[in-house]
Amino acid sequence: MGRLHTSSYQRLATRFPELAIKPRLVVAADPLIENQQAAVEQYGFEKAVSSIDEVLADPDVEVVSICSPNFLHRDFALKAAAAGKPFWIEKPMGVSDEESVEIYRAASEAGIATAVGFNYRHAPAVEHLKALVASGRLGRITNVRNWLIADYASSEDGPLTWRYSTERAGAGVLGDLLSHGIDLVSYVTGQQFSSVTAMTEIFIPERPIPTKMGVGHGGYEIGDEVGAVENQDYVAALARLDGGAVATLESSRVARGDRSDYAIEVFGTEGSARWSFFRMNEFEVQIGDGGLEHGYTTVLASGGHGDYERFQPGPGIPMSFDDLKTIEAKQFLSDAVLGTTEAPSARDGFRAATVVEAMVRSAASGRWEDVPVVD
């Protein structure tokens, strides 16, 4: 994600020239020497160091990207806030709702702009679904379906990395993937979660302990020794939203065959609409009574849908995951430099964390659990 943040900053001036912002890559922090070398030689940073303290002490640094493993998010974010540096942080924001509220409060008290990596909301098709709901064209929203099904942890030979530790990663797939779904449901419908009931499972209880660490999901080597998986592989949940709609959500990191099946469907009294990351550049919509042709119409994203025309000259030409992160970089720097409020913020990150925590409580209690209001 650090590499992706970097390329997003580099593309900003060509995609959003009217901002008149051209980011300067001052310094990257990474404990591995080879990554420090890559930061300078491959990605264009002026220098690289081993700790965030050196980054924050640099007078040329004005904003910070936090792309570390989850267990470092809180400390890095609090240090950035204390230094008065706006930050763009990946999700889940903290490994728990307690850590997330600390980050949210520190940023609020410091009066700094923040952004959280809820990138799927930036897809032009998703932006248009949100506009359809807000305009009332779908009528009163009755129910929403959301799922994020992936296979990145489906192999039993996958190494026991920090991702499988509750202390270091939080609630497993709930924070890693379903937090995106929680944000999508709230963002598209304009409604917040009020209560949830959930069940969770660990389908692969043990994994081999790595003998060599890697970066991201790759580069690891494993031995014969195994250790216990502590956090969740799977979650299914029902939710009530504060605007009267209900939602179903499902997420898995061990579903063989589904590499990244992420989707949202919104149903209203006058129509419905749906979008899938598998086909990111299109959406389906049905509004009103179509008579004998009653059913969905497939629409290709094009100019007028979100920021599509910033990236492609006409409909039918796909955008990419990287483009969504470039939009996120634009929103973050616009908020930091121009004082706008465009990016998904630490408040959104905290809201998602409260829903995740309520789902964890529900899975343990077997009951409906209330979601605290983030005021």
Which tens digit of pLDDT belongs to each residue from 174-233? 999 999 999 999 999 999 999 999 999 999 999 999 876 666 556 677 778 999 999 999
Of the two residues 290 and 347, the one the predictor is more confident about is: 347
Average pLDDT over residues 352-372: 98
The token duo for 230 is 């502590």
Q: How far apart are the C-alpha atoms of 18 and 9, rounded to whole Å?
A: 15
CATH number for region 2-119 = 3.40.50.720
Q: How far apart are the C-alpha atoms of 364 and 42, rounded to whole Å?
A: 47
The token duo for 53 is 């303290």
Q: How far apart are the C-alpha atoms of 44 and 57, rounded to whole Å?
A: 20
User: Mind listing the pLDDT tens digit for each residue in 322-341?
Assistant: 999 999 999 999 999 999 99
User: Mind listing the pLDDT tens digit for each residue in 290-313?
Assistant: 666 678 999 999 999 999 999 999
Kindly report which listed range (41-50, 231-240, 271-280, 310-319) carries the lowest average pLDDT score: 310-319
User: Mind listing the pLDDT tens digit for each residue in 110-148?
Assistant: 999 999 999 999 999 999 999 999 999 999 999 999 999
**Longest Cα–Cα distance in the chain:** 67
Kindly report which listed range (78-87, 227-236, 284-293, 307-316) carries the lowest average pLDDT score: 284-293
What are the phi and psi torsion angles at 120 (to 5°)?
-70, -25
SS3 state at 139: coil
| Domain residue extents for the chain | 2-119, 124-315+346-369
Q: How far apart are the C-alpha atoms of 323 and 277, rounded to whole Å?
A: 13
Q: pLDDT at position 195, please?
A: 98
User: Other C-beta atoms within 10 Å of 287: how many?
Assistant: 15
Q: pLDDT at position 288, please?
A: 83
Q: How far apart are the C-alpha atoms of 163 and 204, rounded to whole Å?
A: 13
Residue 227 and residue 103 in contact, taking contact as beta carbons nearer than 8 Å: no
Mean pLDDT of the chain, nearest integer: 95
Q: How far apart are the C-alpha atoms of 253 and 150, rounded to whole Å?
A: 5
Give the CATH H-level superfamily of domain 124-315+346-369: Dihydrodipicolinate Reductase; domain 2 (3.30.360.10)
Alpha carbons within 13 angstroms on the beta-carbon side of residue 342 total: 19
Cα(first)–Cα(last) distance of the chain, in Å? 30
| Angle subtended at Cα 192 by Cα 190 and Cα 194, rounded to the nearest 5 degrees | 150
**What length does the chain have?**
375
Q: pLDDT at position 216, please?
A: 59
* pTM of the predicted structure, to 2 decimals: 0.95
User: Mind listing the pLDDT tens digit for each residue in 15-66?
Assistant: 999 999 999 999 999 999 999 999 999 999 999 999 999 999 999 999 999 9
Q: pLDDT at position 293, please?
A: 62
Average pLDDT over residues 158-165: 94
